[in-house]
Amino acid sequence: MKSSDKRLLSDLGEFGLIGRIRERFRVPEGVTGIGDDCAVLPQRSGRDTLVSTDMLIEGTHFLRADIPPYRLGWKSAAVNISDIAAMGGSPTATFLSVALPADLEAGWMEEFLRGYAELSGRFGAALLGGDTTASPDRICINVAVIGECPCGAARLRSLAREGDLVCVTGCLGDSAGGLKAILEGVERDADVQMLIDRHYLPLPRVAEGLRLAATPGVHAMMDISDGIGSDLQHILDASSGGRAAALGAKINLAKLPLSEELRRVCARLGWDAFQLAIGGGEDYELLFTCTPEAEQALDVPHTVIGEVTGRFRVKPGMTGREPEMTDIEWRGADRQFSGFDHFRKA
């Protein structure tokens, strides 16, 4: 923590804290930001508003002792802006709610805001409001993000079609490998440090999402937050909606993009790179489907990992409510993979 402000929030006070937040963020022209009952943003015809929100709880999503506040601030903004990227939109504004223990040092929050501002600033998202309140113990964070895209252009999960290719940007599993390294206290050589950085400092794929959404033949899109085992299933479920014959997918394990760093760390420590890549999540890469013709024309770096198949099977688990993660064939695998459920034990 670089900031040396050791004052406690109970001394700084709620309005002192809000003052510090306001100092860090510039409000764009024509917009009302922090300081009123609501933020006010003009609407434009021919545009759609995009909205998403994510909650981070100390003890569930992060451990205060493990994550530097700058990185937590960065990540809190990044995971939300990634949802805008996943629709093919541009982020406009974020709204930050924080519940903080009164005995937290003001310097912790300064560092959190510095990371939050650094990431949001890179993507042009202003902080236009939120809530500051006291927590009895754990830090709770909620970010709501607003973005926009041309009317009707949002890349929904429900747009996948039989015959589409399944593609991803970047590499998979680095973030999950970084988390595993943190939790297991692995010694931090350069490879491990890269995985940990990928876990704490994800970069939402906003520019890539915009280019993909502007490419004809790119259909369903989402960001990878729970692992492709779970996230691809969401696309299949959403795209099967209401039709008698549901969609499935065949994924070729040999095609999964794994970083050299992840391969080396897994080889050294005996970790299962496929499990990390498929079940781990938090990569915040884009998962999308497109026609083979569109794939040929893409100007966004990506990897084709499989294809969407039709008339695969219809099972009770395909209602969209309790996916059973068995509608994807993992070619080259000797077992099933599944994604993450926040309430279920592994």
Q: Are 139 and 287 in contact (CB under 8 A)?
A: no
Residue with Cβ nearer its own copies (99 or 182)? 99
Residue carrying the six token digits 């959190």: 112
Regarding 43 and contact with its own copies (CB under 8 A), the answer is yes
- By rule CB under 8 A, what count of residues binds its own copies? 83
Regarding 183 and contact with its own copies (CB under 8 A), the answer is no
Residue from 55, 214, 267, 297 binding its own copies (CB under 8 A): 55
Regarding 228 and contact with its own copies (CB under 8 A), the answer is no
User: What sign does the CA torsion over 5, 98, 228, 123 have?
Assistant: negative
Short-list 213, 16, 171, 32, CA closest to 109: 16
Residue from 5, 48, 66, 197 binding its own copies (CB under 8 A): 48
Short-list 78, 73, 46, CA closest to 139: 73
Regarding 265 and contact with its own copies (CB under 8 A), the answer is no
Strand 90-100 to 126-134 pairing: parallel
Regarding 66 and contact with its own copies (CB under 8 A), the answer is no
Minimum Å distance from CB 47 to its own copies? 5
DSSP sequence for 232-267? HHHHHHHHHTT-SSPPEEEEEGGGS---HHHHHHHH
Rounded Cα distance, 190 and 306, in Å? 32
Regarding 86 and contact with its own copies (CB under 8 A), the answer is yes
Regarding 344 and contact with its own copies (CB under 8 A), the answer is yes
Site for its own copies, residues 284 to 313, rule: CB under 8 A = none
- Please give the DSSP secondary-structure letter assigned to residue 43: -
Rounded Cα distance, 235 and 288, in Å? 9
Residue from 13, 28, 124, 332 binding its own copies (CB under 8 A): 13
Residue from 160, 186, 222, 246 binding its own copies (CB under 8 A): 222
Minimum Å distance from CB 237 to its own copies? 9
Minimum Å distance from CB 311 to its own copies? 23
Site for its own copies, residues 90 to 149, rule: CB under 8 A = 93, 95, 97-100, 102, 128-138, 140, 142, 144, 146-148
Residue from 27, 57, 300, 304 binding its own copies (CB under 8 A): 57
Q: Count of alpha carbons within 13 Å of 239, Cβ hemisphere only? A: 29
Short-list 43, 37, 134, 146, CA closest to 95: 146
Regarding 45 and contact with its own copies (CB under 8 A), the answer is yes
Rounded Cα distance, 172 and 70, in Å? 24
Regarding 52 and contact with its own copies (CB under 8 A), the answer is yes
Residue from 7, 28, 151, 293 binding its own copies (CB under 8 A): 151
Rounded Cα distance, 232 and 209, in Å? 17
Residue from 15, 190, 216, 242 binding its own copies (CB under 8 A): 15
Regarding 336 and contact with its own copies (CB under 8 A), the answer is no
- Please give the DSSP secondary-structure letter assigned to residue 153: -
